[in-house]
Amino acid sequence: MNVISLSSFDLSLAAFLLLLLAATSLRIGLGLEKRIIISGIRMTVQLLLIGMVLKVLFTSENFFLVGFMSLCMLLVAGYEVRARQKRKLRGSTGYLISTGSMLVSSFTVTFLALTVMVGVDPWYTPQYAIPMLGMLLGNTMNGVSLASDRLTTEMYNQRGMVEQRLLLGQSWQEASGEIRRDCMRTGMIPIINSMAAAGVVSLPGMMTGQILGGSSPLDAVKYQILIMFLIAAGTGFGVMTAIWLISRRLFDERQRLVLDCLTNIK
């Protein structure tokens, strides 16, 4: 079975719905019309570009091109994590930590899946490697940014409490234990929830795409299950790594809470 190709006219009809939404937003003074239109345009351009890039990538099957593409995705994800934080770590440290924790979790998990579970040959075959890495990075990025944003904010807001615990002779691990665990939970809850709701409340996007693309539902489901496991593991370990690295930075070698490594909120 072949996919029914969408014409530009079909897409314009759908875009018209978005314009309608923007007009309504203007009419009732919601103030979102500009952002609706800009994000709509951004999404269209980004996806068209990536479509062309993927087309080239899929025909070439070059290891270095796939590697370069993965690196770009990682760097953008690292930038996004930093941009979504209210209080960031000063300098390049914050960027290195978020990028590093995503590199460790998403890349290893994707590599494991490609070589062991999917067993595609060569393992970097872009049709498999890029979409899987993309899904892993996207989800890990969400988890890591939620968790690290919460960590720096909580440490700042609860500095009195953390310092009180240090003054009572607790180690930095004890003094920040509850906060760190809360932040890890914050980062992992979305993926745990979506595992619980998968198939009952929501039909995951990847599976839907495969079915629309003509795969048998059972094959699609199996891939979805695999991806869900990978995403949950990748997000979980990514979040833990990020929280550990950031909290190490927030205490110095004499276990003092040092908050001047965080940027101020304007």
Partner 1 sequence: MKEAPLLSPSPERAENSGLSLSHMSFLGNGPYSVNVKPGECIGLTGTSGIGKTQLLRAIADVIVHGGNCSLDGEPCSSFSPPVWRKMVAMIPAESFWWHDTVGAHFEDTSQRPEFLNLIEKLGFSSDIVGWQISRLSTGERQRLSLIRTLIQRPRVLLLDEPTSALDIKMVMIVEEILAAICDSLQISCLWVSHDIEQLFRVAGKVYRVEKTGFTEESDA
* Rounded CA separation 258/263 (Å): 12
Binding segment (CB under 8 A) for partner 1, from list 126-134, 161-169, 217-225, 232-240: 161-169
- Candidates 1, 167, 200, 218: give the one binding partner 1 (CB under 8 A): 167
- Candidates 5, 51, 169, 264: give the one binding partner 1 (CB under 8 A): 169
Q: Mark 172-191 with x for binding to partner 1 (rule: CB under 8 A) and - for no binding.
A: ------x-------------
Residue 265 within binding range of partner 1, rule CB under 8 A = no
Choice between 118 and 259, CB closer to partner 1: 259
- Candidates 107, 165, 191, 245: give the one binding partner 1 (CB under 8 A): 165
In one-letter notation, the amino acid at residue 85 is Q
Tokens read off for 87: 């209080």
* Rounded CA separation 188/205 (Å): 19
Residue 127 within binding range of partner 1, rule CB under 8 A = no
Within 13 Å and on the Cβ side, how many CA atoms surround 171? 5
Please, which of residues 203-262 interact with partner 1 by CB under 8 A? 252, 254-257
* Rounded CA separation 61/91 (Å): 37
Residue 27 within binding range of partner 1, rule CB under 8 A = no
Count interface residues toward partner 1 (CB under 8 A): 17
Print the SS3 string covering 217-231. Answer: HHHHHHHHHHHHHHH
234 CB contacts (<8 Å, ≥6 apart)?
105, 106, 109, 110, 136, 139, 140
Coil/strand/helix, residue 209: helix
Cβ of residue 198: shortest distance to partner 1, in angstroms? 36
Residue 33 within binding range of partner 1, rule CB under 8 A = no
Binding segment (CB under 8 A) for partner 1, from list 95-103, 115-123, 134-142, 162-170: 162-170
Contact call for residues 104 and 163 (beta carbons, < 8 A) = no
Residue 150 within binding range of partner 1, rule CB under 8 A = no
* Rounded CA separation 236/172 (Å): 22
Residue 29 within binding range of partner 1, rule CB under 8 A = no
Choice between 39 and 173, CB closer to partner 1: 173
Cβ of residue 180: shortest distance to partner 1, in angstroms? 13
* Rounded CA separation 78/95 (Å): 6
Cβ of residue 97: shortest distance to partner 1, in angstroms? 22
Cβ of residue 160: shortest distance to partner 1, in angstroms? 5
Contact call for residues 23 and 33 (beta carbons, < 8 A) = yes
Residue 153 within binding range of partner 1, rule CB under 8 A = no
* Rounded CA separation 44/71 (Å): 22
Per DSSP (E only), the strands in 62-168 are none
| Binding footprint of partner 1 on the chain (CB under 8 A) | 160-161, 163-171, 178, 252, 254-257
